[in-house]
Amino acid sequence: MKLVTFHSEGRGNRVGAVTAEGSIVDLNAAYALYLRDVQGEGAFYALADARVPADMRGLFENGDRGLDAARSALEFSMKEGPRVGPSGESIFFRRDAVRIMAPIIPKKFFHTAGNFREHHTEAQKAGFSHPVLPWIVFFQNVDAIIGPDQEIVYPEHLTEELDYELELAVVMKKSGKHFPAERASEFIGGYVIFNDITARDIQRTEMKSGVFSFCKGIDTFCPLGPHIVTADEIPNPNNLAMELRVNGQARQQSHSSKMSVTIPEIVAHYSPMGYSAGDVLSTGTVSGVAAFSGDPKSLYLKPGDVVECEIEKIGVLRNPVVSYKEKHGGKSVAAA
C-alpha cells in the first residue's frame, strides 16, 4: 500500500491509500463500511477507529493488525467501487480535491548518517571541515516536518548556504529494543522519502563542537513524503535507484545498494536506543550535495527553486523554496 495523510475540508486530516489510478481511499471510512457489510459488526465505527484510526502514527502503533485491517479496507473498496460510508461520507477522493500532508509525524525521528561512503569521499575531496564517519546518529526536530508541495522556507537572516540531501527513511511498525539484524524486518513497517535540508554555514560552526542539530532542524527543513510504501511492496530496500533534481536538473544520482551496510543492520544497530511504533529512521544521503561540488555557491538552493526527490518504488517528493521574507509578507524577523 501507498499510505497518505490527506486533509479534506470539513473532515480534517485523514489516513488514506493511493490507488493505481491515483485516487485516494479513506481507510477509516472504508473499514467501517467493510465491518458493517462484510463482518456484520454493529459497533463498526468504534472498531474502525480502534483498528484503522484516522491518524498515521496511530495506524502504525497498531502494527500488523492495523496494517492488515487497512489492507482489507482498501481491497474491499476497490472491489465494491466508489461507494459512500455508513453515514454517507465519501470514501474515494480525487487527489486534486484534497491537500496531501506529511504522511506521519513520529514520536522520534532517528537521523542517521555515514552509511553511504561516497558521501564521505566527496566531503574529503571538497576539503570539508570534518569527516563523515560511519554510525552517526542524532534526533531530528519533528516540528520541522513538512509534506509534499509544502514550502521549504529559506531563512536568509540565518544562512547563505542552503543545501539538500536525498535520503531513504524507514517507518517502524513495532516497539522494540536490543534486537539483531535478523529480526529487523519484524519492526519495519514501510519506507518514505526524506530531504535533509541543511544550512552548511551553520553546520560548519556547530561541528567545531562535534554536533550538528540546529543546521538541520530549522522550521520546514524536514520534507517527508509523498507517502509511506509498506514494506511488503519493497522486499529489498537496498536495491532502489535514487535521484534528486533542482529545477529539473539532476544533482544527486545513486542507488541504495551503495550503502556500506544494509538497512536491517542500521535498524538493529540503533535498536538499543529503543523504538516506538511510528518512529522514523533515516539512512543517510548519497553523493552530489551542493556543498561538496566544484561550485557550491551556484548550486545552493535559493528562493524560486523546486526540489524533487525520487526513489524507485516510492515516488517523488516535491517542494518549492521560498524566502522567509516572502513567506511572512516582507516582515522583519522580529515582526514575524
Give the DSSP H or E segment for 245: strand 241-246
209 Cβ partners below 8 Å, 6+ apart? none
Residue 166 has pLDDT above 80, yes or no: yes
274: left (phi over 0), alpha (psi -120 to 50) or beta: left
Which DSSP string do the residues of 75-126 spell out, in sequence order? HHHHHH-S-B-TTS-B-EE-GGGSEE--S---S-EEEEE--BHHHHHHHHHT
CA dist 59 → 19, 103, 109, 162 (Å): 18, 11, 17, 34
Higher pLDDT, 249 or 211: 249
The pair phi, psi for residue 108, each rounded to 5°, is: -135, 145
28-48 pLDDT, tens digit per residue, is 999 999 999 999 999 999 999
DSSP string across 26-39: EHHHHHHHHHHHTS
Residue 98 cell numbers, joined: 484534497
Range in 66-75, 112-121, 149-158, 237-246 with the lowest mean pLDDT: 112-121
Residues 74 and 1: beta-carbon distance below 8 Å: yes
- Residues with Cβ within 8 Å of 139's Cβ and at least 6 positions away in sequence, in order, are 108, 109, 110, 111, 213
Q: How far apart are the first and last CA of the chain?
A: 40
What's the mean pLDDT in 10-15? Answer: 94
For the segment 180-207, what is each residue's pLDDT rounded down to a tens digit? Answer: 999 999 999 999 999 999 999 999 999 8
Q: CB of 227 within 8 A of CB of 315?
A: yes
SS3 310: strand
**Mean pLDDT, residues 87-100:** 96
Per-residue pLDDT, averaged over 56-68, amounts to 98
Evaluate whether 66 touches 177 at the Cβ level (below 8 Å): no
157-166, 202-211, 327-336 — most confident range: 157-166
275-312 confidence digits (pLDDT tens)? 999 999 999 999 999 998 989 999 999 999 999 999 99
Report the distance separating Cα 138 and Cα 140, nearest Å.
Answer: 7
Maximum CA pair distance of the chain? 66
* pLDDT reported for residue 22: 95
Residue with cell 495523510: 5
Rounded mean pLDDT, 218-239? 98
Q: What is the rounded distance in angstroms from the CA atom of residue 134 to the CA atom of residue 122?
A: 14
CA-based nearest residue to 60, from 281, 265, 312, 211: 281
